Amino acid sequence: MTILQEILAHKRDEVRSNKELYPIKLLERSTYFTSQTVSLKKYLQRSDLLGIIAEIKRKSPSKGYINRYISVEELSIGYMQAGASALSVLTDEKYFGGSAQDLRLARQANFCPILRKEFIVDEYQIVEAKAIGADVILLIAAALTPAQVASFSAFARSFGLEVLLEVHTKEELASHLCDSVDLVGINNRDLHTFTIDVRNSLEIGALVPPGMIKISESGLDDAATVVRLKQAGFNGFLIGEAFLKSAKPDQACGMFIEAIRQGLHVVNGSAGQREAQPSAQTEFVAKKTVT
């Protein structure tokens, strides 16, 4: 059994339990259930922001704890003050150390798009996402059939939620992308070897239909790589570990964003002066192995 299969099996058990503890009728009483959502699509296209989706997670299945003592309220505010475009909040407890309460706290403290980072296997979790204040849900192609993606995404849209479809391969993009998906996320991590290759974003991104918002995920710890991806038409960049391993993740986020601004300034200036020459400042860090 792979780690993804293990997580999905646990998630199905968790959903069954939560349905008994917190019936949908109870979730529908949330004040967030009737509130208007904030569009991630619009925020990722704002000219005053750079598309950084700053993630809040305490640990991962492969690395254990990254940052055990997160104050969600303080960190979420710090990320947004640093110039992030949106927040991503892990709500899985067993494998990532998160909770639904983490997202509620982020929602209470910020007016910005919030992605619920979760392994969705049931419509119940979509209702739950709306009830805790999320604006966007994640659907992972590797965890769902094309029919499930189509059904879940249409269901989410009925609540005003936007849908981010995460793909890892060209085949997943071709089989799972549908009209009710709002954004495409390309994960640079191989789910079997855990090798990270950012060229995955470039190769799959070239196949994403024109006009679709594209997000690159995993392994983005180098500002020059983000600059290269922006030049390739990417709108969003999901980054967590690169910030969270710092003692002050919000400051690391701010420094990273400033480095991207400087890189874009250099590239755009160089392009204006020497259109035929590639920029030496955009060295592309493509491949590395995560242990």
Q: How many domains, the chain? A: 1
Contact 129, 100 (CB under 8 A): no
Question: Is 268 among the residues known to form the active site?
Answer: no
Q: Is the pLDDT of residue 280 over 50?
A: no
**Element (DSSP H or E) covering residue 137:** strand 136-140
Residue in 55, 118, 162, 241 annotated catalytic: 55
Residue in 76, 110, 216, 218 annotated catalytic: 218
Question: Is 17 among the residues known to form the active site?
Answer: no
Task: State both tokens at 269.
Answer: 């200036």
Residue in 76, 85, 110, 187 annotated catalytic: 187
Instruction: Give residue 195's pLDDT.
Output: 84
Residue 81 maps to which CATH number? Answer: 3.20.20.70
Q: Is the pLDDT of residue 165 over 60?
A: yes
Question: Is 19 among the residues known to form the active site?
Answer: no
Instruction: Please say whether the dihedral angle defined by the alpha carbons of residues 264, 265, 269 and 274, taken in this order, is positive or negative.
Output: negative
Instruction: Give residue 278's pLDDT.
Output: 42
Closest CA to 18 of 134, 156, 125, 152: 125
| Residue ranges making up the domain that contains 102 | 3-270+280-289
Per-residue DSSP letter, 120? -
The residue type found at 148 is: Q
The residue type found at 252 is: A
Question: Is 57 among the residues known to form the active site?
Answer: yes
Residue 116 within a domain:
yes
Residue in 59, 217, 230, 235 annotated catalytic: 217
The residue type found at 289 is: T
pLDDT tens digits for 78-122?
A: 999 999 999 999 999 999 999 999 999 999 999 999 999 999 999
pLDDT tens digits for 204-238?
A: 999 999 999 999 999 999 999 999 999 999 999 99
Residue 10 within a domain:
yes
Where does 158-248 have alpha helices with state H?
170-176, 199-205, 223-231, 241-244
Residue 62 within a domain:
yes
Largest CA distance in the chain: 64
Residues 64-74, mean pLDDT to the nearest whole number: 95
Name the pLDDT band for 64 (thresholds 50, 70, 90): very high
Question: Is 110 among the residues known to form the active site?
Answer: no
Instruction: Please say whether the dihedral angle defined by the alpha carbons of residues 136, 137, 140 and 144, taken in this order, is positive or negative.
Output: negative
Residue 275 within a domain:
no
Angle (CA) 123 146 128, round 5°:
15
Average pLDDT over all residues of the chain: 92
- Name the β-bridge partners of 237: 52, 216
Distance CA 57, CA 277 (A): 40
CA distances from 90 to 17, 48, 118, 143, 186 (A): 19, 26, 6, 17, 18
Q: Is the pLDDT of residue 37 over 80?
A: yes
First-residue to last-residue Cα distance in the chain: 19
Residue 142 within a domain:
yes
Instruction: Give residue 277's pLDDT.
Output: 45
Q: Is the pLDDT of residue 272 over 80?
A: no
Question: Is 217 among the residues known to form the active site?
Answer: yes
Instruction: Give residue 162's pLDDT.
Output: 98
Length of the chain: 291
Question: Is 172 among the residues known to form the active site?
Answer: no
Residue 81 within a domain:
yes
Q: Which residues contact 160 (CB under 8 A, 6 or more apart)?
A: 36, 37, 130
Where does 66-198 have alpha helices with state H?
72-81, 100-109, 123-131, 146-157, 170-176
Task: State both tokens at 94.
Answer: 């067993």
pLDDT > 90 in the chain, percent: 86
Distance CA 81, CA 77 (A): 6
